[in-house]
């Protein structure tokens, strides 16, 4: 007999019908154990060792799984294919191994639909537990415990009514605080550079990059303390103006020309949602037409209300014409429409001419 473990009891009944005799399907009802909310549940100094406690309300179900596992020839873990499902399968395997009730043959199967074809196909392709998903789950729970459990009491004291400090929000807040501290400690520094435009035809721009063999500093050459890096010089306003005056009327020579290939690609086509949004945006004339249409519709509904029949009546009226014109005349008369019977007859004739 093969023991199959799923998460939901409803799934257990359906899957057991699909598999038939030789299979016993039990539900774990979700997770069966978790880290207890106390000190020492996660030990960072010991390779992040974790202490797990079984849920008290799952004792009955765990006993049923353990009893069946002792009699089973093999164990098939068929929990959900996501990270939490993989973790539940791992927990079941660890609990049964600790109770010395784990069968020798342990397999993992996953399926995305509860149909007979999908279940039988998954049973024919078993695999091992996904260690990557299990380690991702363990890292998540360790962060929840080390970060959330530590910061949540502080948050409750400082911000009454707050729920908890999660692993994601806490780390994101730490990054923001560190960045803000860097911004506050930042020291500004002034530097100047010299650009020129040639008098040639066509003209082109140039930039002074070195003076006397020393490179002129740019913004990336300054550190957080505002100090310039070695082997560079920072031009102040006075020196920059002196250099600029000295370059006036000077003769420049182009020493070399570098050619590099340039490739230009057309813009990617707009997504369908963007095209639909652009096409549905009315222009000034369209908006005016839309408002006129709305006014006419409202006026028509007002006249309809005064005449004692609903604005939906023409639809029902046309459906009556599709059956018989005589009934349509009577229907119009009963509605008490103020339009002349000739007008209704002309409309009725148009309806009949369009019918097959």
Domains of the chain: residue spans and CATH: 2-129 (3.40.50.140), 137-185 (no CATH), 195-247 (no CATH), 303-356 (no CATH)
Over the chain, what is the mean pLDDT?
Answer: 79
pTM tops 0.75, yes or no: no
How far is the C-alpha of 285 from the C-alpha of 279, rounded, in Å?
14
What is the DSSP code string of 118-169? HHHHHHTS-B---HHHHHHHHHHHHHIIIIIHHHHHHHHHHSTT-----HHH
Phi and psi, residue 206, nearest 5°: -145, 160
How much is the pLDDT for 299? 40
How much is the pLDDT for 203? 85
Over residues 233-272, the pLDDT tens digits come to 888 899 899 988 888 878 888 888 888 898 888 888 877 7
How much is the pLDDT for 6? 95
How much is the pLDDT for 252? 83
């Amino acid at each position: 007999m093969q023991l199959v473990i799923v998460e939901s009891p409803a799934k257990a009944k359906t899957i057991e019908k699909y598999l038939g005799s030789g299979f016993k399907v039990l539900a774990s009802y979700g997770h069966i154990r978790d880290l207890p909310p106390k000190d020492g549940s996660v030990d960072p100094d010991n390779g992040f060792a974790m202490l797990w406690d079984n849920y008290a309300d799952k004792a009955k179900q765990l006993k049923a799984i353990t009893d069946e596992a002792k009699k089973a020839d093999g164990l098939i873990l068929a929990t959900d294919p996501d990270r939490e499902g993989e973790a539940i399968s791992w927990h079941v395997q660890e609990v049964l191994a600790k109770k010395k009730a784990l069968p020798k043959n342990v397999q993992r199967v996953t399926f995305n639909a509860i149909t007979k074809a999908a279940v039988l196909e998954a049973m024919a392709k078993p695999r091992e537990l996904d260690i990557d998903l299990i380690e991702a789950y363990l890292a998540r729970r360790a962060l929840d415990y080390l970060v959330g459990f530590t910061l949540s009491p502080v948050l409750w004291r400082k911000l009454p009514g707050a729920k908890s400090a999660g692993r994601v929000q806490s780390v994101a807040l730490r990054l923001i605080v560190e960045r803000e501290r860097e911004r506050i400690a930042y020291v500004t520094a002034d530097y100047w550079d010299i650009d020129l435009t040639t008098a040639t035809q066509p003209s082109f721009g140039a930039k002074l990059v070195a003076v006397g063999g020393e490179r002129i500093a740019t913004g990336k050459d300054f550190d957080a303390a505002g100090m310039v890096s070695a082997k560079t010089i920072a031009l102040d306003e006075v020196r920059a103006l002196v250099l600029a005056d000295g370059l006036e009327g000077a003769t420049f020579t182009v020493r070399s020309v570098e050619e590099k290939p340039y490739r230009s690609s057309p813009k990617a086509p707009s997504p369908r949602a963007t095209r639909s949004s652009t096409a549905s945006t009315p222009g000034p004339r369209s908006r005016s037409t839309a408002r006129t249409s709305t006014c006419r519709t409202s006026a028509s509904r007002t006249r309809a209300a005064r005449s004692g029949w609903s604005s939906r009546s023409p639809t029902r009226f046309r459906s009556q014409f599709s059956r018989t014109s005589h009934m349509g005349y009577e229907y119009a008369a009963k509605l008490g429409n103020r339009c002349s019977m000739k007008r209704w007859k002309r409309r009725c004739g148009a309806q009949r001419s369009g019918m097959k």
